Amino acid sequence: MIDAHAPLFPLVDSSYDNQEIIRCMETLLSGQLTMGPRVKQFEETFASKVGARYAVMVNSGSSANLLAISALVNPLRKVHLSPGDRVAVPAVCWSTSIWPIMQCGLIPVIVDVDPRTLNISIPALRVVLDRQQVRGLVMVHVLGNSTELGQLLQLVREHGLILVEDTCESLGTTWRDSYLGTLGDFGTYSFYFSHHMTTIEGGMVVSRSPEDDDMLRCLRTHGWSREQSNRDQLEGENPTIDPRFLFINLGYNLRPMEIQAAFGLEQIRRLHDMNAHRRSNVARLGAAFEAHPLWHGQLEFPRATSDLDPCWFGFPFLVSPETRLDYRRFTRSLLARGIDTRPVVSGNMALQPALRHLPVDLSEGPFTGAQTIHDRGLFIGAHSKPLTDERIAILVDIVLRTLEEHC
Ligand SMILES: Cc1ncc(COP(=O)(O)O)c(C=O)c1O
């Protein structure tokens, strides 16, 4: 059925089909709806897909970030951060890349980004690390790209940082032979419906050590002992407590449901193909812009960093500084012509009013790279299915003609 009101080119195309629906129906009919065997199976499948040792599923990417940082500050973790410790985070990120840092009593230190990659600026990070006592880094891999990771990992080693990779926008991007999200202590992913794969809502935390895996499982679910690898020992040490209700640490309830995992098990089988389509769509869009008769370099396309095979989350661009543009009118006109756009994540997070009354360290500003992205950056959808040449031609034509009209 054609929806006359649907945009010609939405930000997201629907990535599921009848198989996901059937798997969800089977799950509903099975009677096991809360977290159970499908979640376990999805965790194992996901871990092996990305090459992680352990994976713990949660109900969103935001919960994944909260869980990872909560594990980092937990006093029972051998190496943990303490209240007031500082954690670097890029100025272009999502709100819940930053909020959990503060929710766990730590101080986010905002670091500028490089508008050519949309990701954290290595020179800016170096300055911050030389100037301040920073103990951790939440590296947000923005829109499927990343920074110069060889240099970043060297800084992490030199400064003994704990590294959390917020990979919510970059599932499938590889650096050398590794999936993003598997390079640090923790990697987090989102399966919100617009992301590389979806469980409707959902998220995952990957980790490297059995101790962290135990910690994540404990904090995910009330702080109880049920999923601990040393469950028998814990129960033996507490013989007077009902072993089903033995609480050994703090905790939340961030559990996913079985239908989310059922959905994910189907989606992950198609992740490779969907990502191949995204990569190809982005490459073909870029080529079509540059081949269009109206093209004179009025858009700048972010570049992938060294040794990275990016799986773009969207098709991002910066309108060149020579093009004087009323950004709001431009995006409204594009939408009126059927092309949805959005800022690069949320633009410069340092401008958000929430930060004014929160303990965030903005002293490393001004964030000129983030401001450039804020003022001139946009993205359109990359889509998980192949775009036809005709659709690409129409899209490119509309964008360039609309741009001409607004200059
Ligand atoms: C970088 C980043 N981190 C975290 C999240 C949060 O994920 P979720 O929407 O699944 O809570 C998002 C969401 O888009 C994101 O882009």
User: In a 3-state reduction of DSSP, which class is residue 283?
Assistant: helix
Q: How many angstroms separate the CA atoms of 135 and 152, rounded?
A: 14
Ligand 1 lined by 60 (C-beta under 6 Å): yes
CA distance 210 to 283: 40
Reported as type and span, the H/E element at residue 179 is strand 178-179
Query: Tokens standing for 299?
Result: 């858009």
Domain at 18-266, CATH from 3.30.230.70, 3.40.50.300, 2.40.50.140, 3.40.640.10: 3.40.640.10
Kindly report whether the peptide bond that precedes residue 343 is cis, defined as omega within 30 degrees of 0. Answer: no
Q: Where are the domains of the chain?
A: 18-266, 272-406
Rounded distance from Cα 406 to ligand 1 centre (Å): 32
Residue 297 identity: G
Q: How far is CA 325 from the centre of its chain?
A: 29
Cα–Cα dist 240/267, whole Å: 44
How much is the pLDDT for 41?
98
CATH level 3 topology of 272-406: Aspartate Aminotransferase, domain 1 (3.90.1150)
Give the pLDDT confidence of 109-164 residue by residue, as tens digits: 999 999 999 999 999 999 999 999 999 999 999 999 999 999 999 999 999 999 99
Answer yes or no: 195 catalytic: yes
In this structure, the residue with its CA closest to atom 10 of ligand 1 is 61
Q: Determine which one of 5, 141, 159, 195 is catalytic.
A: 195
Distance set, CA 160 to CA 135, 154, 163 (Å): 7, 10, 9
Ligand 1 pocket, 58 CB below 6 A? no
* pLDDT tens sequence across 199-215: 999 999 999 999 999 99
pTM for the structure as a whole:
0.97
Q: What average pLDDT is seen over the chain?
A: 96
Atom of ligand 1 nearest to the CA of 167: 1
